[in-house]
Amino acid sequence: MFNLQVAQNEMEEEEDKKRRRRDDEARMARASHSRRVIQVVAHRPSRSANTDRSRQRRGKDLLDDYFVRNNAFPDTYFRRRFRMERHLFNKIMIAVCNHDSYFVQKNDAFGVMSLIPEQKIIVALRMLGYGAFADQVDEIAKMEKSTILKSLMRFCSVIEFIYTTEYFWRPAQMDLQRLLKKGEM
- The stretches of 42-116 forming alpha helices (DSSP H) are 55-62, 75-82, 86-99
Model pTM above 0.75:
no
DSSP of 113-131: B---HHHHHHHHHHHHHH-
- Tens of pLDDT along 36-72? 555 555 555 666 666 666 667 777 777 777 777 887 8
d(CA 103, CA 157): 13
When pLDDT is cut at 50, 70 and 90, the band that residue 155 belongs to is: very high
Alpha-carbon gap, residue 132 to 144, rounded angstroms: 15
- Encode pLDDT of 164-185 as tens digits: 877 777 778 888 888 888 888 8
Q: How many angstroms separate the most distant Cα atoms in the chain?
A: 123
User: Which pLDDT band holds residue 10 (cuts at 50, 70, 90)?
Assistant: confident
- Please report, rounded to a whole number, the percentage of residues in the chain having pLDDT higher than 70: 80
**CA-to-CA dists, residue 10 to 17, 23, 120, angstroms:** 10, 20, 78
For the chain, domain boundaries: 1-43, 55-167
Res 154: pLDDT:
92
pLDDT at position 95 is 94
Question: What pLDDT is recorded for position 32?
Answer: 58
Phi-psi group of 137: left, alpha or beta (phi > 0 → left; psi -120 to 50 → alpha; rest → beta): alpha
d(CA 86, CA 118): 11
* Sequence letter at residue 159: I
What is the 8-class DSSP label of residue 172? P
**Is pLDDT at 27 greater than 60 in this prediction?**
yes
Each residue's pLDDT tens digit, 94-113: 999 999 999 998 887 778 78
Count how many residues are written for the chain.
Answer: 185
* pLDDT score of 35 more than 80: no
For residue 61, what are the β-bridge partners? none
